Amino acid sequence: MKYGEKIIKEFDIEKDLEIWENAHKKSYTIKITLPEFACLCPRSGYPDFAAIYIEYIPNEWVVELKALKLYINSFMTKHISHEASANEIYDTLWRKLKPKWLKITADFNPRGNVHTLIEIDSQKIEKLP
């Protein structure tokens, strides 16, 4: 196994998703594009490809970009649906960063004549009591 494969295979979200203290107290938006997302269809095992767009207004924490890249690459060998992968990324970043606002867009490439676009926006999610 090559070193990159080993790092991705052994990636542990709890210890390896590095976050940094946000040194700026004003509100500003961070936009990140991850154009080479890949995962495996849970039914067929065929690969699915997407661009993941992350936008957030940080509160106390920002995500370190190399750690985010490794996290996203860890999906390459997961059998996971489009919806589940987008929601997992959202839930992980929401839990770890506790941002003021977060939006994830997963734009999956067409397969079998179907295009999927999944958006999760913290301003549109119904807050549970």
Catalytic residue chosen out of the listed positions 16, 39, 41, 91:
41
Return the closest-CA partner of residue 8 out of 70, 101, 67. 70
**Torsions phi, psi of 86, nearest 5?**
-60, -45
39 is catalytic: no
Q: At 88, which amino acid appears?
A: E
Catalytic residue chosen out of the listed positions 12, 16, 39, 48:
48
C-alpha atoms less than 13 angstroms from C-alpha of 96 in its C-beta half-sphere: 22
Return the closest-CA partner of residue 50 out of 4, 94, 104, 13. 104
16 is catalytic: no
Write down the H helix ranges in 74-114: 82-97
Residues with a catalytic annotation lie at 41, 48
